[in-house]
């Protein structure tokens, strides 16, 4: 069913059209520049139509999981455009589900078009015949099976609006093969109307929030991806209040790391000292577009004051993990400017507090940096690497990371300066995200630098998508942090069990993979090669070739995140089991 009033206007067609033509027509009306997927017997007719399109470029991937991650990055890195997939049913969908699940939990809109088995024949057990809608039910905002030609265009339009409305997420439309292949009568086609988000918010809630903030002795601000487009307004609120600002992992680009009130990712004991100290006495917290998920809260170990103002477009997030004094259901792009307007009118004078907070944050950040610089070995120092990458990467360059130890190194050591320039898998926390996502980001941002940071374990999952980058002209610099282990889990095993099990990868020779996919290769073996290696990689990418860089990373120093989460989780264990775990670790340490 098409939501009433969404597309009131229509254009007359009065002709027979194939379903594939109607799919192409619908997609060309939407803010879509690329589709990602693999053609098969159930969607070749759609691909034939897309091959004629002057507005949409279909991209062949090596695996549908890569297609989903590429589409996800399109939505994240380009405000307004939506990532789209055209995939085969059944196997194509199940392969893509890792990326669809990531988008669902992270609140990223995706449009998934699948082929479908024929509905005009009575035979059962057709190739790829499964109930896709049941399979996808738990990780999508909705799915549709189209049964008539006249419903194809309005259904795609409605699915798009569902994907971008409220809490964004993935949607799926199944187009049976017979509808694609054969022509049907279509009298009219709806005219697409762009999505306009609601701009209403309860003014009384805004006033109460401003009252709490203005009266706080030590206010703080916590922002996530939902506030990624209002970083400037958030900075002005922070300056008025003299409040430190922390971000979620996904929302690291929601507030510039170069701002003097930027404290870090999270504010629990798993955060960097600047953030933990800045929020230690927080008596009023403004949280916008942040759901207080497990990662940014350090496994729910952060101290949240009773005076919590929680703003989120998803009503189920409000007060879910920490009770809010004031819960505001709304888009941060609407709510934050209203709070700023009313705070500005109060004539607040908190310059002394602002200067004091800024000074402490700067001091703590500097001290933490020195800790990392003092940890020297024959391998590549992470702080030196990220400082040099920040120096050479333009402020609007996009950094894409994967899931692993390198993720939290980046969160702690890399300064993100502009919105939508840091992409990371978060709540679904899916390995294999980085390389395909970096390709998607580069395809829709062709004039901007794109760098990828991936652990060697995650690289093994989707590294062959670099072939897609080479073929499609998406040059990027991919830095593989190599240590031969699944480092994030291996470190957790060391802390908890004092032994490592099933986390050794074996010896990877990435230069062979670079040769196989048509990428250039650079090796950064120690600190003396950091600057030259990064410079060479970015230059070759700028010249039009994807580059694979092997970084001999030093993981010997654990991040604050790893240490803090381990302590928080262990502390929450029942006393008897906590004693058992600690005793086992000590015995193994003594006995070897």
The count of structural domains within the chain is 4
Percentage of the chain lying above the pLDDT 70 cut: 98
C-alpha to C-alpha distance for 113 and 42, rounded to whole angstroms: 11
DSSP state for residue 448 in the 8-state scheme: S
Residue 369 is assigned to a structural domain of this protein: no
Query: Of the candidates 363, 391, 424, which is a domain's last residue?
Result: 363
Same domain, yes or no: 492 and 525:
yes
Which residues are CB-neighbours of 497 under 8 A, at least 6 positions away? 584, 585, 588
What confidence score (pLDDT) does residue 592 get? 66
Residue 51 structure tokens? 């091959």
**Does a structural domain hold residue 198?**
no
351 shares a domain with 483: no
How would you write 31-55 as a 3-class SS string? CCCEEEECCCCCCHHHHHHHCCCCC
Mean pLDDT of the residues in the chain: 94
CB 165 within 8 A of CB 194: no
Least confident of 228-242, 412-426, 501-515: 501-515
- Place 589 in a pLDDT band, splitting at 50, 70 and 90: confident
- Which has the closest alpha carbon to 62: 572, 517, 589? 517
* Residue 82 falls inside a structural domain: yes
Q: For 234-259, what is the mean pLDDT?
A: 98
The answer to whether residues 382 and 553 touch, using CB atoms and an 8 Å cutoff, is yes
Whether the CB-CB separation of 67 and 61 falls below 8 Å is answered with: yes
| Residue at 70 is within a domain | yes
d(CA 326, CA 335): 13
Window from 8-22, 96-110, 364-378, 417-431 with minimum mean pLDDT: 8-22
Instruction: Give the residue, 243 or 195, on which the prediction is more confident.
Output: 243
Q: Which region among 293-307, 333-347, 410-424, 482-496 has the lowest average model confidence (pLDDT)?
A: 482-496
Closest to 57 in 3D by CA, of 74, 72, 42? 74
CA atoms within 13 A on the CB side of 196: 6
Q: What is the DSSP string of 306-336?
A: SSEEEEES-GGGTTSSS--SEEEES-HHHHH
* Residue 381 falls inside a structural domain: yes
Q: Please, are residues 363 and 260 in contact by the beta-carbon 8 Å criterion? A: no
Nearest to 530 by CA among 420, 413, 398, 448: 413
Contact (Cβ atoms closer than 8 angstroms) between residue 455 and residue 404: yes
Residues 422 and 440 in one domain: yes
pLDDT (mean) for 225-251: 98
Residue 153 scores a pLDDT above 50: yes
Give the CATH number, domain containing residue 457: 3.40.50.970
CA–CA distance, 328 with 586 (Å, rounded to integer): 48
Same-domain check for residues 325 and 420: no
- For the cut 90, the answer to whether the pLDDT of residue 569 exceeds it is no
pLDDT at 550: 97
Give the residue-averaged pLDDT of 295-312: 96
| CA 133 to mean position of chain CA atoms | 25
Tell whether the model's pLDDT for residue 511 goes beyond 50.
Answer: yes
Same structural domain, 152 and 291: no
Q: What is the mean pLDDT of residues 355-366?
A: 98
Per-residue pLDDT of 305-351, as tens digits, reads 999 999 999 999 999 999 999 999 999 999 999 999 999 999 898 99
Cα distance between residue 183 and residue 39, in whole Å: 21
Of 334, 363, 392, which closes a domain?
Answer: 363
Would you list the DSSP string of 566-588? HHHHHHTS-HHHHHHHHHHHHHH
Q: What is the pLDDT of residues 30-76, one digit of tens each?
A: 999 999 999 999 999 999 999 999 999 999 999 999 999 999 999 99
197 inside domain: no
- The reply to whether 449 and 574 lie within a common domain is no
Position 8 confidence tier, pLDDT thresholds 50, 70, 90: low
The percentage of the chain sitting over the pLDDT mark of 90, rounded to a whole number, equals 82
User: Quick one: 286 and 161 in the same domain?
Assistant: no
**Phi, psi angles (nearest 5°) of residue 127:** -55, 130
Q: How far apart are CA 260 and CA 128, in angstroms?
A: 55
Question: Is 338 a member of any domain?
Answer: yes
Report whether 425 contacts 433 (CB < 8 A): yes
Mean pLDDT within 467-491:
91
19 domain residue, yes or no: yes
41 burial level (CB within 10 Å; 0-12, 13-18, 19+): exposed
Residues 6 or more apart whose CB falls under 8 angstroms from that of 223 comprise 231, 234, 245, 246, 247, 248, 251, 254, 255, 287, 288, 289, 290, 332
Separation CA 267–CA 17 (nearest Å): 57
Does 1 have pLDDT greater than 50?
no
Q: Does 246 share its domain with 141?
A: no
Q: For residue 508, what pLDDT band results from cuts at 50, 70 and 90? A: confident
- 95-123 mean pLDDT: 95
In 481-500, which positions are buried (b, 16+ CB within 10 angstroms) versus exposed (e)?
A: bbbebbbbbbbbbbbeebee
Q: Distance between CA atoms of 503 and 4, rounded to whole angstroms?
A: 54
User: What does the alpha-carbon distance between residue 397 and residue 395 come to, in Å, rounded to a whole number?
Assistant: 5
- In the chain the first and final C-alpha atoms are separated, in Å, by 65
Residue 3: pLDDT band with limits 50, 70, 90: very low
In this model, does residue 6 exceed pLDDT 70? no
pLDDT the model gives residue 2? 39
3-state secondary structure of 72: helix
- CA separation for the pair 402, 300 (Å, rounded): 22
Cβ contact 316:337 at 8 Å: no
> Rg (Cα) of the chain, in Å, rounded?
25
Q: pLDDT (tens digit, 9 = 90+) per residue, 111-144?
A: 999 999 888 888 888 888 899 999 999 999 999 9
- Report the alpha-carbon distance of residue 235 to residue 251 in Å, rounded: 14
Instruction: Report helix, strand and coil shares of the chain as percent, to nearest 5.
Output: 45, 20, 40
- 140 and 219 assigned to the same domain: no
Q: What is the pLDDT of residue 4?
A: 36
Task: Quote the pLDDT of residue 499.
Answer: 80
Residue 133 has φ and ψ, to the nearest 5°, of -70, -35
pLDDT surpassing 70 at residue 268:
yes
Decide: residue 351, CB within 10 A, 0-12 exposed, 13-18 middle, 19+ buried.
exposed
Range(s) of the domain holding residue 175: 10-190
pLDDT at 332: 97
Show which of 169, 190, 211 is a domain's final residue: 190
Do 232 and 88 lie in a common domain? no
Question: Does 200 score more than 90 pLDDT?
Answer: no
The CA distance from 159 to 168, in Å, is 11
Query: How far does CA 262 lie from the centroid of its chain?
Result: 20
Closest CA to 133 of 146, 120, 123, 122: 146
CB of 348 closer than 8 Å to CB of 240:
yes
Residues 265 and 330 in one domain: yes
SS3 assignment, position 274? helix
Give the max Cα distance, the chain.
83
- The DSSP H or E segment spanning 222 is strand 219-223
CB 19 within 8 A of CB 175: yes
One domain, residues 577 and 544: no
Where is average pLDDT lowest: 188-197, 381-390, 552-561? 188-197
State mean pLDDT over 285-292. 97
């Amino acid at each position: 069913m098409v939501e009433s009033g969404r597309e009131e206007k229509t254009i007359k067609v009065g002709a027979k059209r194939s379903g594939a033509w109607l799919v192409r027509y619908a997609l060309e009306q939407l803010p879509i520049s690329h589709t990602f997927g693999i053609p098969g017997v159930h969607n070749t007719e759609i691909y034939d139509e897309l091959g004629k399109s002057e507005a949409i470029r279909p991209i062949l991937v090596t695996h549908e999981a890569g297609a989903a991650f590429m589409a996800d990055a399109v939505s994240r890195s380009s405000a307004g455009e939506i990532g789209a997939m055209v995939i085969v049913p059944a196997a194509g969908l199940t392969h893509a589900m890792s990326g669809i699940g990531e988008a669902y939990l992270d609140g990223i809109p995706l449009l998934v078009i699948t082929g479908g088995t024929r509905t005009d024949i009575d035979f059962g057990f057709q190739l790829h015949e499964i109930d896709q809608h049941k399979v996808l039910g738990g990780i999508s905002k909705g799915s549709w099976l189209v049964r008539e030609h006249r419903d194809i265009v309005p259904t795609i339009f409605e699915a798009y609006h569902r994907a971008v409305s409220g809490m964004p997420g993935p949607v799926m439309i199944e187009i049976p093969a017979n509808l694609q292949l054969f022509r049907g009568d279509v009298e009219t086609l709806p005219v697409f109307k762009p999505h306009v988000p609601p701009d209403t918010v309860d003014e009384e809630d805004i006033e109460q929030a401003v009252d709490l903030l203005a009266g706080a002795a030590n206010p703080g601000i916590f922002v996530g991806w939902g506030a990624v487009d209002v970083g400037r307004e958030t900075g002005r609120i922070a300056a008025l209040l003299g409040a430190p600002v922390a971000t979620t992992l996904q929302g690291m680009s929601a507030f510039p790391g170069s701002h003097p009130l930027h404290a870090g990712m999270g504010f629990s004991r798993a955060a960097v000292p600047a953030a933990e100290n800045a929020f230690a006495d927080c008596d009023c917290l403004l949280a916008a577009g942040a759901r207080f998920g497990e990662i940014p809260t350090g496994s729910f170990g952060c101290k949240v004051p009773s005076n919590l103002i929680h703003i989120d477009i998803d009503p189920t997030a409000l007060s879910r993990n920490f009770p809010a004094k004031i819960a505001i259901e709304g888009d941060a792009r609407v709510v934050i400017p209203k709070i700023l307007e009313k705070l500005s009118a109060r004539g607040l004078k908190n310059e002394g507090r602002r200067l004091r907070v800024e000074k402490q944050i700067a001091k703590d950040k500097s001290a933490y940096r020195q800790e990392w610089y003092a940890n020297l070995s024959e391998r590549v120092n992470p702080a030196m690497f990220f400082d040099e990458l920040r120096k050479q990467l333009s402020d609007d360059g996009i950094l894409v990371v994967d899931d692993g130890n390198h993720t939290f190194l980046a969160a702690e050591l890399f300064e993100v300066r502009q919105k939508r320039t840091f992409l990371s898998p978060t709540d679904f926390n899916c390995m294999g995200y980085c390389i395909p996502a970096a390709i998607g980001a580069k395809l829709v941002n062709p004039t901007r630098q794109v760098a990828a940071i991936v652990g060697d374990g995650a690289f093994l999952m989707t590294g062959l998508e670099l072939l897609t980058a080479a073929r499609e002209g998406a040059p990027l610099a991919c830095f593989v942090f190599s240590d031969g282990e699944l480092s994030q889990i291996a470190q957790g095993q060391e802390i908890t069990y004092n032994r490592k099990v099933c986390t050794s990868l074996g010896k990877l020779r990435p230069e062979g993979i670079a040769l196989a996919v048509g990428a250039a290769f650079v090796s950064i073996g120690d600190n003396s090669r950091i600057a030259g290696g990064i410079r060479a990689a970015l230059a070759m990418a700028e010249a039009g070739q994807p580059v694979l860089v092997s970084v001999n990373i030093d993981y010997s120093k654990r991040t604050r995140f790893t240490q803090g989460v381990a302590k928080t989780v262990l502390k929450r264990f029942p006393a008897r089991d906590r004693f058992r775990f600690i005793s086992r670790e000590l015995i193994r340490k003594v006995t070897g």
